[in-house]
Structure 1
C-alpha cells in the first residue's frame, strides 16, 4: 500500500526547535552540517541562537502531526533570497526532498515574490544537488568559499521559472 504524500507547513523556528536542531547528529561526510550546542549558540548569539535573527530569517518545516522535519533560512540579499535548508538527518535519503523543498520555495516566494531564489551547495553533495535539480534549481556558478574547515568548492543553484 502506498503512503499518502507528506504534507508539510512552515512555522516560526521556536527555541525548542532550535535546541532540537543543535542535537541532530549527521553521519560523515554530512557531519560538517552539525551545529554547536544550543547553550553555545545562545551564548555567542550566532545564527538562530540570536532571537531576532531567528525570527527574521529562520523557519521550522513541520509535518501535519507537528513533527519537526527540518528548517530553512531565508537570507535576504539585494534582489535575491538565498536559501539555507536542512532536513532532520534520520529523514534524509527517504524521498522526502521534493516535498520539503517545495514547501520552502513556496514560503520564499510568499515572503519576497519579486526576488530570485538561490542556494549554495557543496559540489560533493550529489544527493542534495539531485534534490535541488528535481525542485527546479540549476547550477549557475561554481566557486571556492572559505568555511570553518577551510576552502571548499560550492555550486550556486538558482530556481528557474
Structure 2
C-alpha cells in the first residue's frame, strides 16, 4: 500500500501510451490481460491501434507526477457505456484501485450523464471485483465470453449512481 495520497487525472490517450500498454507484462493468471505487439495492433487497426477508436473511446490515467498508470476504454452502446480498465502492472496491488477506478467513473459520468455504466470482469478476478464493489459496482449477470484462451465465465457489474 502506498502511504502518501495519490491523485489521478484522466486525459485523452496519447500514441506513446498506447505503445507502452503493449509492453506491459502481467504475472499469471493476470497475463490474460496482455495485448498484442503495437505494430500488430496498428496493422490490424484494432482497439487503441486504430487512431479513430483511440481518440473517441480510450483515455489515459496519469498520477500526480504525470506518470502513465493505466487506461480505460469508454465503449458506448445503446444507453450504456461499458468500461474496459487496465492498470500498469507496476501499480497493481498497491491499494490504488479505488482511486484509479473512481477517476475513470467520474469521466464516464461526465461524458454520458444519463447512461448506465457497466463493466465485465472474469469471475476469478477477486482483486478487481473487490475494487469495483468499493467503487459502487454490483454484479448483475454471469455469462461465458470468448477470451484468447477459450470461453471463460464473466460477471457484468453495473455502477449504482
- Matched with 1:47 is 47
- Matched with 1:90 is 90
Q: Can you give the 5+ residue segments of structure 2 that lack an aligned partner in the other structure? A: none
SS of the residue 1:108 aligns to: helix
Query: TM-score, length-normalised on structure 2?
Result: 0.97
- Matched with 1:7 is 7
Deviation at 1:3, TM superposition (A): 3.3
Query: TM-score, length-normalised on structure 1?
Result: 0.97
SS of the residue 1:90 aligns to: coil
Are the equivalent residues in 1 in contact too, given 2:32–2:148 (CA < 8 A)?
no
Deviation at 1:42, TM superposition (A): 0.6
Deviation at 1:148, TM superposition (A): 2.1
SS of the residue 1:27 aligns to: coil
- Matched with 1:141 is 141
What does 1:7-26 correspond to in 2, within 5 Å?
7-26=7-26
- Tell me whether 1:28 sits opposite 2:16 in the alignment: no
Deviation at 1:39, TM superposition (A): 0.9
What does 1:112-127 correspond to in 2, within 5 Å?
112-127=112-127
Q: Deviations over 1:102-153 (max 9, x none)?
A: 1000000010000000000000000000000000000000011122211100
- Matched with 1:80 is 80
SS of the residue 2:90 aligns to: helix
> Over the residues paired in the alignment, what is the CA RMSD in angstroms?
1.0
| CA distance in 1 between partners of 2:99 and 2:140 (Å) | 23
| CA distance in 1 between partners of 2:125 and 2:144 (Å) | 15
Deviation at 1:48, TM superposition (A): 0.2
Deviation at 1:4, TM superposition (A): 3.2
Give the aligned length.
Answer: 160
Deviation at 1:76, TM superposition (A): 0.3
| CA distance in 1 between partners of 2:147 and 2:29 (Å) | 15
- Matched with 1:128 is 128
- Matched with 1:109 is 109
SS of the residue 1:98 aligns to: helix
| CA distance in 1 between partners of 2:3 and 2:27 (Å) | 27
